[in-house]
């Protein structure tokens, strides 16, 4: 069962994004050796330009397969366009002819039930040999497929079915390109998620003008002008807090809305997340 065009585009975008991330790391990070943890993640990304280019050249968007996705698809669509043009030309000649124009409700060629038809005045229905595919709401117009284009419409519908079959074949071939790289795709998705989280934290820390914590193993807490990151920077009152060095128990008292809970949550947050 082939993947849909939409799914194939998403997989190709994973490889494309992986390549862009690798390019970004090697271009924007002057000395990559100073970022060993990031370097390992970026280097583990897998990209495949051959597959990416193939997918993007064959699939224009989630609803459109390019004519040149296969020589057979291109041939089928060329035949379709020519046949559609031939049908329209034949019907236009018919509705504009002096002997036929009096039967026409409007000088247009339209489509009903995937077949080309023309709008005939209901009173003149019996004067036009063909098949009725629809009737207007008012009942004054019948949409007739003239018998002269019946076989042409049949051929056109046959080509459309061939087109669908060929598109399925193209999607199947494109799907097979990813079979050997299922594990690489899984790894890419995992790493992209990790990198997104890392850079989101970095951006958030930068917006807070946060400083890098120094982690100790002495079970000591030393906070200087700390603010809980979930509170607005201009509204949070900074606190300085020490525990574990000169004393191991601290009693916090004060009036309601005096900041006791915020202080405890701030200490707990920094203790848990080390920000």
The mean per-residue pLDDT over the stretch 117-132 comes to 93
Would the pLDDT of 273 be above 70?
no
Going by pLDDT thresholds of 50, 70 and 90, the confidence category of residue 98 is: confident
**pLDDT value at residue 78:** 98
Give the pLDDT of residue 177.
98
Mean pLDDT value across residues 119-136: 93
What confidence tier does 227 reach under pLDDT thresholds 50, 70, 90?
A: confident
Higher pLDDT pick, 113 / 215: 113
Q: What is the pLDDT of residue 266?
A: 78
Higher pLDDT, 188 or 37: 188
Q: How confident is the model at residue 270 (pLDDT cuts 50, 70, 90)?
A: low
Whether the predicted pLDDT of 257 surpasses 80: no
Q: Where are the alpha helices (DSSP H) in 112-181?
A: 150-176
pLDDT at 56 over 50: yes
Question: Could you tell me if 240 and 226 are in contact, meaning their C-beta atoms sit under 8 angstroms apart?
Answer: yes
Structure tokens at 231: 């509170």
Mean pLDDT of the chain: 90
Alpha-carbon separation of residue 137 from 89, 115, 119, 125, 141 (angstroms): 28, 19, 13, 16, 8
Cβ pair 116, 149 in contact under 8 A:
yes
Mean pLDDT of 93-98: 91
Q: How confident is the model at residue 275 (pLDDT cuts 50, 70, 90)?
A: very low
Give yes or no for residue 172 having a pLDDT over 90: yes
pLDDT above 70 (res 108)? yes
In contact, 207 and 201? CB cutoff 8 Å: no
On the question of pLDDT at 274 being above 70, the answer is: no
pLDDT tens-place string over residues 73-94: 999 999 999 999 999 999 999 9
The domain limits of the chain are 5-65+178-208, 73-158, 221-273
Q: What is the largest CA-CA distance in the chain?
A: 109
Specify the pTM: 0.79
Q: What angle do CA 44, 48, 49 make, to 5 degrees?
A: 135
Considering 73-87, 205-219, 222-236, the range whose residues carry the highest mean pLDDT is 73-87
Of 156-160, 228-232, 248-252, the poorest mean pLDDT is in 228-232
- Per-residue pLDDT at 223: 83
**How, if at all, do strands 239-243 and 141-146 pair?**
unpaired
So what's the pLDDT on residue 87?
97
CA distance linking residue 94 with residue 61, whole number of Å: 38
> Between residues 132 and 28, which one has the greater pLDDT?
132
């Amino acid at each position: 069962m082939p993947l849909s065009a939409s799914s194939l585009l998403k997989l190709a975008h994973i490889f494309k994004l992986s390549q862009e991330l690798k390019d970004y790391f090697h271009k924007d990070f002057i000395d990559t050796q100073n970022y060993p943890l990031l370097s390992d993640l970026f280097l583990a990304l897998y990209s495949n330009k051959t597959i990416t280019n193939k997918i993007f050249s064959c699939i224009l968007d989630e609803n459109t397969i390019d004519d040149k996705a296969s020589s057979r698809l291109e041939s089928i669509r060329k035949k379709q366009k020519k046949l559609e043009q031939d049908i329209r030309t034949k019907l236009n000649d018919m509705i504009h002819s002096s002997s036929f124009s009096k039967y026409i409700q409007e000088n247009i060629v339209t489509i009903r039930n995937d077949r080309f038809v023309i709008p005939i005045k209901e009173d003149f229905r019996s004067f036009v040999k063909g098949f009725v595919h629809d009737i207007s709401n008012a009942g004054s117009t019948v949409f007739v497929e003239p018998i002269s284009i019946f076989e042409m419409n049949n051929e056109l519908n046959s080509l459309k079915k061939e087109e669908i079959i060929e598109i399925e074949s193209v999607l199947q071939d494109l799907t097979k390109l990813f079979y050997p790289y299922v594990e690489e795709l899984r790894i890419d998705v995992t790493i992209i998620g990790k990198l997104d989280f890392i850079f989101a934290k970095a951006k958030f820390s930068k917006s807070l003008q946060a400083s890098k914590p120094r982690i100790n193993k002495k079970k000591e807490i030393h906070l200087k002008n700390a603010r809980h990151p979930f509170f607005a920077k201009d509204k949070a009152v900074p606190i300085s807090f020490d525990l574990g060095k000169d004393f191991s128990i601290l009693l916090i008292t004060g009036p309601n809305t005096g900041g006791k809970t915020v202080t405890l949550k701030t200490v707990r947050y920094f203790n848990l997340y080390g920000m």
